Structure 1
Amino acid sequence: MILFLFLFGLTLAAVSPSDEREVKLQRGNCPMFWFSFNGRCYKYVSTRLTWADAALQCLSQGATSLVSIHSLEEQNFVNFLIKNFDHAEGPTWIGLSDRIDKKWMWSDGAPLNFTLWNGEQPKPAGEYCAYTNYGGDVKWKHQPCGYSYAYVCASRIDCPL
């Protein structure tokens, strides 16, 4: 019994992987319904649009474009933002597509320096766009760009127009 209590106490004191860094949504210098992370503003939009229409809507709201993701930390923030507004964590467009020169590129022109594909990175075919929240591990998947999903916008500066 004493051994059981000792082991139970050890498990309570152990740090779980989810304790790494708590993610919080903060407005910072961002406008209403936009949230700040590492000097950029992000906005989740639940309206389902095609990838191209979502990108245009982001631009019309003062964003640079659909979100480009450059680290696992940023991916975790984007997923947390989505989950905050969509508890089902449905498919959500991000700014990655292979529409230009059949190469995977971010719509805001940022370099592709991080990926989180579910499985092997798809070969570009000139007709696919990427979304996040695929499967239980919420990784990226590609889909024809004409599908309609929710989307995340981002701005390069801390305050979109």
Structure 2
Amino acid sequence: MSWSEAQRQCRLLGEDTNLASIRSKDDMDFIHMMLVDAYVRNNVTKTYIGLTLMENAYGGLQFVWSDGRPVSFTSWSVLENQPDGGNFEKCSLYNLERIHSIDNWHDVPCASAETDHFICMKPALFQTGMTFRFIDYNVDVDDVYVHCRIETLTVKVLKDFREDYN
């Protein structure tokens, strides 16, 4: 699946749902913990996030989140000199190269099929929180993990995907 298809799949969950925007180290720590869990359970190493390279008003390129928010935090892989693709790699994923480091972002071509895993983000019912969904496109839809982050409380529950979105 491509990054563009993963974003389209998130939008099918609701018009306010996008690939995950990671706005702080706390968000990154939370998502990293979720992805380490996916790695331990299913050997998942690559997961799409919502960072994309767009042309700005001045004709230059800058990274923004798929929900339109500006970038206030980054966690690029320094071991591989990321981002390194320029105009050719305008999308991004989290490549869990080192489980003890959050610096694992990579830029990738938007149309290339890098992984079947992605994280969708939807505003939570509470104004102060976000709901992150890790989606493995190869598992039964009944086994989608829902991870909620509300202020400083972190809750991990297993929910029925259809129940939440139907």
- Classify the TM-score, shorter chain: 0.5 to 0.7
User: RMSD across aligned C-alpha pairs, in angstroms?
Assistant: 2.3
2:10 counterpart of 1:58 = yes
How many equivalent pairs are there?
112
- Give the number of the structure with larger relative contact order, counting CA–CA contacts within 8 Å between residues 6 or more apart: 1
Distance across 1 between alignment mates of 2:87 and 2:74: 17
One of 42, 49, 52 as aligned partner of 1:94: 49
Q: TM-score, normalising length from structure 2?
A: 0.59
Question: 1:82 corresponds to which residue?
Answer: 35
Question: Which runs of 5 or more residues in structure 2 are unaligned?
Answer: 56-60, 126-130, 132-163
Deviations 1:73-129 (A, max 9, x none): 11111122223333224110000011x213211101111000000125526415421
Q: Which of 85, 94, 97 is the matching residue for 1:135? A: 97
The equivalent of 1:111 in structure 2 is: 70
Q: Comparing both structures, which one devotes a greater share of its residues to strand?
A: 2
Which ranges of structure 1 fall in alignment gaps of 5 or more residues?
Answer: 1-48
Aligned residue type for 1:69: I
Amino acid at match of 1:85: A
Q: Displacement of 1:148 after TM fit?
A: 3.0
| Residues 1:122 and 2:74 are matched in the alignment | no
Per-residue Cα deviation, 1:17-65 (whole angstroms, up to 9, x for no partner): xxxxxxxxxxxxxxxxxxxxxxxxxxxxxxxx21000001001012520
Cα distance in 2, alignment partners of residues 142 and 73 from structure 1: 21
Aligned residue for 1:114, secondary structure, equals: coil
